A = this chain, B = another copy of it.
Amino acid sequence: MKKVLLQLDTDEHPSPFDAIVAHDAGVDVLLSHGGVKPDDVHGLVQDAFFTRGVDDLKTMAVWVGGKRVSAGEEVFGKVQKAFFGPFRVSVMLDSNGCNTTAATTIARIAKARSLAGDRAVVLGLGAVGLRSATLLRDEGCEVTAVAIPPDLFGDDRPYRKPSGVGAAEELGLDVREPADRGALESVLDGAQLVLCSGPAGVQVLRGDFWTRHPTLELLADYNAAEPLGLEGTKATDDLASHDGKLVLGALAIGGPKMKVHKACVRRMFEANDQVLDTDAVYAIAKELV
């Protein structure tokens, strides 16, 4: 019986990335739907699983993607509401690559060092940043999540008010909104770990600040586009040492992230009850990275 993946994407055009990786991971039939709205989900999901007997439901799964993570989260919830009785299929959320990226990065860091007791600072309150923050907290870090202040934005990249403050507070994170670069730098006092997840093209930490920082030991950066979040680093830095501090760049995560992504797709077809949210993807990432 063919392995069918229902791709529900909240963007007009369903992501070619997600589609291609699904095929590479062994999906036989991919049904790609773009512009999916929450009200579409119930019908699409039931329409799909009604083609299968109860014993064959693991030959089918649902993938939720698209650029906007909050829209994806809503669709992800609706998918699970379409299940009833024994009728359920595995489902994964990875809008904008949020879960695979955060999980792979933190798993990579957790393999490189013990995290329990560390003070970790996440700079930037986007979906990937917040997912990373909760994973670090679960690993025993004391985590602070920080909004990027206006003076870090350049002319090319106008300031956007951070939209993630409320979401970060709901997650129970210690949230800070520093007024300027100086205030942001003070938040790093005593931190061993920093994660830059600011907007693409915004340099978050200057080289002469972070290379001389007295307590920082490991820095990661989710930005792959110049200028990088960490001045003086390369996106390909794979725990490379800079003045004794380890740096993990965005492109060094690409290979393991792809491995995790494919493994998640395959995992969905091993049983019909997998719900691959941040935590479940992280568990898979820790096995693989």
Whether A171 sits at the interface, judged by CB under 8 Å, is no
CB of B50 within 8 A of CB of A24, answer no
CB of A279, distance to nearest CB on chain B (Å): 25
CB of B24 within 8 A of CB of A51, answer yes
- Give every chain B residue within 8 A of A1 (Cβ-Cβ): 24
CB of A227, distance to nearest CB on chain B (Å): 16
Contact-residue bracket for chain A = 20 to 34
* Contact flag A20-B48 (CB < 8 Å), given A13-B40, A40-B13: yes
**With A and B bound together, what is the CA distance between A127 and B277 in angstroms?**
41
- Give every chain B residue within 8 A of A51 (Cβ-Cβ): 16-17, 20-21, 24, 258
Contact with B along A29-45 (1 / 0, CB 8 A): 10111011000100010
CB of A24 within 8 A of CB of B2, answer yes
Whether A101 sits at the interface, judged by CB under 8 Å, is no
Q: Which residue, A33, A36, A51, has most C-beta atoms of chain B within 10 A?
A: A51
Whether A6 sits at the interface, judged by CB under 8 Å, is yes
Whether A15 sits at the interface, judged by CB under 8 Å, is yes
Whether A23 sits at the interface, judged by CB under 8 Å, is yes
Task: Specify the chain B residue showing the minimal Cβ separation from A30.
Answer: B29
- Give every chain B residue within 8 A of A15 (Cβ-Cβ): 47
CB of A23 within 8 A of CB of B2, answer yes
Whether A19 sits at the interface, judged by CB under 8 Å, is yes
* Contact flag A19-B2 (CB < 8 Å), given A13-B36, A13-B44, A51-B24: no
Whether A4 sits at the interface, judged by CB under 8 Å, is yes
CB of A45, distance to nearest CB on chain B (Å): 8
**With A and B bound together, what is the CA distance between A29 and B17 in angstroms?**
12
Q: Which residue, A1, A12, A20, A40, has most C-beta atoms of chain B within 10 A?
A: A20
- A residues in contact (CB < 8 Å) with B: 1-2, 4, 6, 12-13, 15-17, 19-21, 23-24, 28-29, 31-33, 35-36, 40, 44, 47-48, 50-51, 60, 254, 258
9 A–B contacts from the bound complex (CB under 8 Å): A2-B23, A12-B35, A13-B33, A16-B48, A16-B51, A17-B47, A19-B31, A20-B48, A21-B51
